[in-house]
Amino acid sequence: MAARARRPSGPRWDQLELAPVVLLTVGEPALGDRALARLSALARARTPSVEITKLDAAAYEAGALAQLTSPSLFGEDRMIVVPNMEKMSDAFSADALNYLDSPEPDVVLVVRHNGGNRGRKLLTAITAGGFQHSDIPQVKNDAEKAELVRSEARRARRRMTEGAAHDLVDALGRDIRELLAAVTQLLEDIDGTIDETAVHEYYRGRIEATPFAVADAVVAGQHGHAIALARHAMVTGTAPVPIVAAIATKLRSMALVLAMRGQARPGEVRLAPWQIDRAKKDLRGWSGEALAQAILVVAQADAEVKGASRDAAFALERAILRIGEARRNSAR
pLDDT given at position 8: 55
Note whether 81 and 112 are within 8 A (CB).
Answer: yes
What's the rounded Cα separation, in Å, for the pair 174 and 159?
A: 23
pTM for this model (two decimals) = 0.65
Cα–Cα distance for residue pair 142/269, rounded to 1 Å: 20
Distance CA 277, CA 14 (A): 32
What is the predicted pLDDT for the residue at 251? 94
The Cα–Cα gap between 236 and 307 comes to 21
Question: Are the beta carbons of 211 and 232 closer than 8 angstroms?
Answer: no
Q: Report yes or no: 136 and 35 within 8 Å, Cβ to Cβ.
A: yes
Q: What is the gyration radius of the CA atoms in the chain, in angstroms? A: 26
- At 141, give phi and psi (nearest 5°): -105, 175
Q: Is 207 left (phi over 0), alpha (psi -120 to 50) or beta?
A: alpha
Per-residue pLDDT of the chain (332 residues; tens, 9 = 90+): 334 444 556 899 999 999 999 999 999 999 999 999 999 999 999 999 999 999 999 999 999 999 999 987 667 899 999 999 999 999 999 999 999 999 998 999 999 999 998 999 999 999 999 999 999 999 988 889 999 999 999 999 999 999 899 888 877 777 899 889 889 888 988 889 999 888 877 776 555 568 888 998 999 998 888 888 898 888 778 899 999 999 999 999 999 988 887 555 555 667 778 888 888 889 988 999 999 999 999 999 999 999 888 899 999 999 999 999 999 887 65
301 CB-near residues (< 8 Å, 6+ apart): 244, 247, 315, 316, 318, 319
Handedness of CA 274, 259, 216, 287 (dihedral sign): negative
For the chain, which domains are there?
13-136 (3.40.50.300), 142-205 (1.10.8), 209-330 (1.20.272.10)
